[in-house]
Amino acid sequence: MGLAPRGAGCASAANPRLPGAGRLKYADIDNAVKRIKLKLAPGVETEFVDRDRALGQVVEWAEKSTRFPVVVFGPEGCGKSAFLRQAAEALGEFGFDVVYVDAAHRDFVAYTDVAEVARRLFDAASDVSGLAQLKLAYLAVDLVKELIGRWGRRRVAVLVDEVFQAVGLDKAGIYVKSLLNLIEYPPRSYERIVAVAATSEGVSRSEIGRHRWAELTPMWNMPREGFQQLYEKLPGPKPPFEEVWRLAGGNPGMLSRLYLTGWNSGAVVTWLIREKGLTPDFIARWRGWLERVVEDPEALWSPDAPEELIRQLVERNLILYNIYEREQIFWVDQPPPERDPELGVGRDVAWQTPLHREAVRRVLEAV
Ligand SMILES: Nc1ncnc2c1ncn2[C@@H]1O[C@H](COP(=O)(O)OP(=O)(O)OP(=O)(O)O)[C@@H](O)[C@H]1O
Ligand SMILES: [Mg+2]
Handedness of CA 39, 45, 47, 53 (dihedral sign): negative
Kindly tell me the number of DSSP H helices and DSSP E strands found in the chain.
Answer: 15, 10
Q: Which residues lie at CB < 5 A from ion ligand 2? A: 80-81
Query: Is the shortest distance between the CB of 221 and ligand 1 below 6 Å?
Result: no
Query: Is the shortest distance between the CB of 51 and ligand 1 below 6 Å?
Result: yes
106: left (phi over 0), alpha (psi -120 to 50) or beta: left
Q: C-alpha 27: how far from its chain's center?
A: 24
Query: Is the shortest distance between the CB of 332 and ligand 1 below 6 Å?
Result: no
Query: Is the shortest distance between the CB of 40 and ligand 1 below 6 Å?
Result: yes
Please state, in angstroms and rounded to a whole number, the distance separating the CA atoms of residues 206 and 331: 17
Reduced 3-state DSSP string for 135-200: HHHHHHHHHHHHHHHCCCCCEEEEEEECHHHHHCHHHHHHHHHHHHHHHHCCCCCCCEEEEEEEEC
Ligand nearest to the CA of 102: 2
Neighbours of 275 (CB within 10 A): 12
Q: Collapsing DSSP states into helix, strand and coil, what is residue 104?
A: coil
Going by pLDDT thresholds of 50, 70 and 90, the confidence category of residue 16 is very low
Q: 37-41 and 44-47 as β-strands: parallel, antiparallel, unpaired? A: antiparallel
Ligand 1 geometric centre to CA of 4 (Å): 21
Going by pLDDT thresholds of 50, 70 and 90, the confidence category of residue 63 is very high
Ligand 1 atom 4 nearest Cα: 48
Ligand 2 geometric centre to CA of 317 (Å): 13
Query: Is the shortest distance between the CB of 55 and ligand 1 below 6 Å?
Result: no
Ligand 2 geometric centre to CA of 199 (Å): 7
Phi and psi for 346 in degrees, rounded to 5? -105, 180
pLDDT of residue 13: 29
Please give the model's pTM, rounded to 2 decimal places: 0.92
Neighbours of 37 (CB within 10 A): 10
**Model pLDDT for residues 158-202, shown as the tens digit of each residue:** 999 999 999 998 999 999 999 999 999 999 999 999 999 999 877
Looking at the chain, the whole-number percentage of residues with pLDDT higher than 90 is: 86
* Range 312-326 burial, b when 16+ CB lie within 10 A, else e: bbbebbbbbbebeee
**Model pLDDT for residues 271-299, shown as the tens digit of each residue:** 999 999 999 999 999 999 999 999 999 99
The C-alpha R_g of the chain, in whole angstroms, comes to: 21
Ligand 1 mutation pick, 38, 201, 251, max ligand atoms within 8 A of CB: 38
Ligand 1 atom 14 nearest Cα: 253
The ligand 1 atom at the shortest distance from the C-alpha of residue 78 is: 21
